[in-house]
């Protein structure tokens, strides 16, 4: 499988390159960086701090090299990712996307594009996080209607979107189990004097230091509570999941796939 990695200088891009170089079923052919960066045309191994030359270049024009690849992995930003999707549509290339912060219209466009090319879209590619989604579905189905549900998520100081894409997916899983719409029941932060509105899901976003990722969902009942928590100690689990997704999507029919499909959960 010939692989292109978008934004290889980013925290996820570096790890994806590191994982991909260790996989016998993957051959990195290019990294794609923003135009004008000082590392354009340099070796991908050096740019990603692998400590060795891997004879793969970082370039700044996806359109010039996209025909050579089989799969693109993209963890960048919404604007860049939408350009990647549009280019991939033209060239009929598979995409694994872990970018978060898309607008409603952008998500609708991604879904439309997925009718023409295979896409794995996931706010979180961790195997354990996706197992947590299944646990949340079970808990919400069993006690969700009698619980006060709160989601607390923590990330590093540089994360731009809040709440996180992962916590939004968690809310969607819970809302679906309750036969409700997350848009109608989500509450983001609180201040002032007010009682909790029954049947809502409360979101609380913490941004501090270099926290990799932490998500806790609380089901609060009278006299007891259930907490389901996941902590990522670093981002390697997400990079491994991204490469698993690339292996999965290679050769698949068009469609919008999730990590549950990748892991057969």
230 is catalytic: no
Q: How far apart are CA 80 and CA 25, in angstroms?
A: 27
| 95 burial level (CB within 10 Å; 0-12, 13-18, 19+) | buried
Catalytic residue among 2, 11, 18, 159: 159
Cα–Cα distance for residue pair 95/117, rounded to 1 Å: 8
Concerning whether 93 is annotated as a catalytic residue, the answer is no
Total number of residues shown for the chain:
265
The 186-188 sheet, strands edge to edge = 186-188, 201-207, 148-155, 213-221, 224-232
85 close to 60: Cβ distance less than 8 angstroms:
no
Whose CA is closest to 184, among 200, 167, 164, 202? 200
CA distances (Å), origin 113, targets 77, 108, 121: 18, 9, 12
**Choosing from 9, 93, 155, 230, which is the catalytic residue?**
155
Q: Which residues are catalytic?
A: 155, 159
């Amino acid at each position: 499988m010939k692989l292109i990695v978008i934004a290889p200088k980013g925290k996820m891009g570096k790890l994806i390159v590191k994982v991909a170089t260790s996989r016998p079923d993957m051959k990195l052919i290019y990294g794609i960086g923003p135009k004008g960066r000082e590392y354009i045309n340099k070796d991908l191994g050096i740019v990603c701090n692998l400590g060795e030359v891997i004879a793969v270049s970082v370039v700044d024009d996806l359109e010039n090299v996209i025909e050579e690849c089989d799969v693109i992995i993209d963890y960048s930003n919404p604007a860049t990712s939408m350009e990647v999707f549009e280019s991939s549509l033209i060239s009929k290339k598979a995409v694994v996307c872990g970018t978060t912060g898309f607008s409603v219209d952008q998500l609708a466009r991604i879904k439309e594009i997925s009718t023409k090319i295979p896409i794995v879209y996931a706010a979180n590619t961790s195997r354990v996080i996706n197992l947590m989604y299944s646990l949340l579905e079970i808990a919400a189905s069993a006690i969700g209607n009698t619980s006060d549900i709160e989601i607390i998520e923590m990330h590093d100081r540089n994360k731009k979107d809040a709440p996180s894409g992962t916590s939004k997916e968690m809310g969607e899983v819970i809302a679906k189990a309750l036969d409700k719409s997350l848009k109608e029941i989500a509450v983001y932060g609180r201040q002032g004097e007010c009682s909790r509105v029954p049947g809502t899901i409360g979101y609380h976003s913490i941004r501090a230091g270099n926290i990799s990722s932490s998500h806790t969902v609380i089901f609060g009942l009278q006299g007891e509570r259930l907490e389901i928590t996941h902590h990522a100690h670093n981002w390697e689990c997400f990079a491994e999941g991204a490469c698993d997704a690339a292996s999965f999507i290679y050769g698949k029919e068009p469609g919008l796939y999730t990590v549950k499909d990748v892991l057969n959960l």
